[in-house]
Amino acid sequence: MSLHHKIEELKKEIKKGVIGQDHMIDALLIGILCNGHILLEGVPGLAKTTTVKAFAQSLDIAFKRVQFTPDLLPSDIIGAQIYDMKESEFKIKKGPIFTNLLLADEINRAPAKVQAALLEVMQERQITIAEDTYMLEEPFLVLATQNPIESAGAYELPEAQLDRFMFKIIVDYNTKEEEYEIASKVTNSTFETINKVFTREDLFLLKEEIQKVHIDKELEEYIVNLIFASRKPALYGLEHIAQYIQFGASPRATIDMFKAVKAKAYIRGNDYVSPLDIALIFKEVLRHRVILSYEAQAKEVNIDDILQSILEKVSIP
């Protein structure tokens, strides 16, 4: 079976446990293929956790879930040095972060210290407990969920920490037909068992395949122009949105775009990047990185509308 065909098999397998949410499944695939962490935002009950579980089941990788709460400590995630009375010595107790796929559920409900500990590991991909440093096994992917309507007891992620996420995916309600199918399958317990489709070997081979996807120099320059338009909109004829942007996207956005467009093209069945691949992931890479001004917040300007204006104005090569 070809590797690309296996991606289709994987999607079919995930769909045994998840109805709809194709957008989220594609994002998870790109994340695992590009070593990019993902922030999923949506109200409760939209199958965010279910999708991540199904994703882990269909891949040959370890999965752990941590429910973030206001009383969580960094050691609850990373682990700690504990004293073994029997052996009269200190031992390292590893935390749930020692996995391949970590689901950080409701990340905005944990205090800053916990968020900082997790985000440091996301960046360094290594953990220090007492004097010992451990490298995390590949692949390592953090999927954090955030509830947009939760304000009581919520700690918003600072901009610098949000920047560590490759994508911010907005998870929306299902269609009426999908909702009917979900309710019917849940009440009749007719969801099928999810089988493993990928091996770790497949994952590493896929990553190599994605490296080979061709991108023209003109399209790389187009990506850089899109990012620069978020920083200096007036230079790109976007004076009307300049007042709404306080800070544009960081260089990490450019790096993530370069990586993710290749994976997007591959998943869509192409061996070259097209402007459509760039348009399809532009908002996901930038919506958590462009900081809106107070004026934009006062006028309830939507970040996706701002990004759409950039896409429409910056000329495609």
Is the pLDDT reported for residue 82 higher than 60? yes
Looking at domain 213-313, its CATH architecture is Orthogonal Bundle (1.10)
Token code pair at residue 113: 């210290």
Q: What pTM value is reported for the model?
A: 0.86
Residue 90, helix vs strand vs coil: strand
Residue 289 φ/ψ, nearest 5 degrees = -110, -25
Tens-digit pLDDT profile for residues 32-60? 889 899 998 877 766 677 777 778 888 87
What topology does CATH give the domain 3-184?
Answer: Rossmann fold (3.40.50)
Residue whose C-alpha is closest to residue 33's, from 146, 168, 200: 200
- What is the mean pLDDT of the segment spanning 151-155? 58
Pairing between β-strand 126-129 and β-strand 165-170 as defined by DSSP bridges = unpaired
CB 56 within 8 A of CB 203: no
Write the single-letter amino acid at 317.
Answer: P
Are the beta carbons of 260 and 285 closer than 8 angstroms? yes
Q: Where are the domains of the chain?
A: 3-184, 213-313
Q: Assign 14 a pLDDT band (cuts: 50, 70, 90).
A: confident
Q: What percent of the chain has pLDDT over 90?
A: 26
Of 235, 229, 239, residue with least CA distance to 290: 229
C-alpha to C-alpha distances, 267 to 96, 99, 111, 254, 260, nearest whole angstrom: 30, 25, 37, 20, 11
Domains 3-184 and 213-313 alike in fold: no
Preceding amide of 275 cis, omega within 30: no
Residue 30 near residue 143 (C-beta atoms within 8 A): no
Other C-beta atoms closer than 10 Å to the C-beta of 41 total 18
Average pLDDT over residues 109-134: 83
Taking all residues of the chain, what is their mean pLDDT, rounded to a whole number? 84
Residue 150 pLDDT exceeds 60: no
pLDDT digits (tens, 9 = 90+) for 194-209: 778 777 888 888 889 9
